């Protein structure tokens, strides 16, 4: 099956959104874990890092990449949270 340029671009965007959703899932799982074990300070620090990163990157990346930039900023924010939470507990 041959795809046109618009269909290939849409497919790449859908794959990108699917990968970002994996990061959101991992971040949500960590929030549930830390909440369950009662380590609230990690959640406060992680949420501050996550939201700050997402807002800053969304402002920059959305202008250039549109909706894909917003999705990337959200995924990067979650990944930054995942990394900082993991390092903070090791």
Q: Average pLDDT over the chain, rounded to whole?
A: 77
- Could you tell me the pLDDT band of residue 70, with boundaries at 50, 70 and 90? confident
pTM: 0.54
Give the 3-state secondary structure of 6-59. HHHHHHHHHHHHHHHHHHHHHHHHHHHHHHHHCCHHHHHHHHHHHHHHHHHHHH
Q: What is the span of the domain harbouring residue 54?
A: 5-89
What is the rounded distance in angstroms from the CA atom of residue 24 to the CA atom of residue 76?
9
* Number of domains composing the chain: 1
Q: Considering the chain, what percentage of its residues have pLDDT values greater than 90? A: 2
Question: Residue 87: what pLDDT?
Answer: 59
Instruction: Give the residue with greater pLDDT, 16 vs 54.
Output: 54
- Could you tell me the pLDDT band of residue 85, with boundaries at 50, 70 and 90? low
């Amino acid at each position: 099956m041959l795809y046109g340029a618009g269909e290939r671009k849409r497919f790449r965007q859908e794959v990108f959104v699917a990968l970002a959703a994996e990061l959101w899932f991992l971040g949500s799982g960590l929030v549930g874990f830390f909440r369950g074990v009662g380590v609230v300070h990690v959640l406060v620090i992680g949420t501050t890092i996550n939201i700050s990163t997402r807002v800053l990157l969304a402002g920059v990346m959305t202008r250039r990449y549109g909706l894909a930039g917003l999705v990337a900023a959200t995924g990067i924010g979650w990944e930054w949270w995942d990394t900082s939470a993991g390092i903070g507990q090791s």
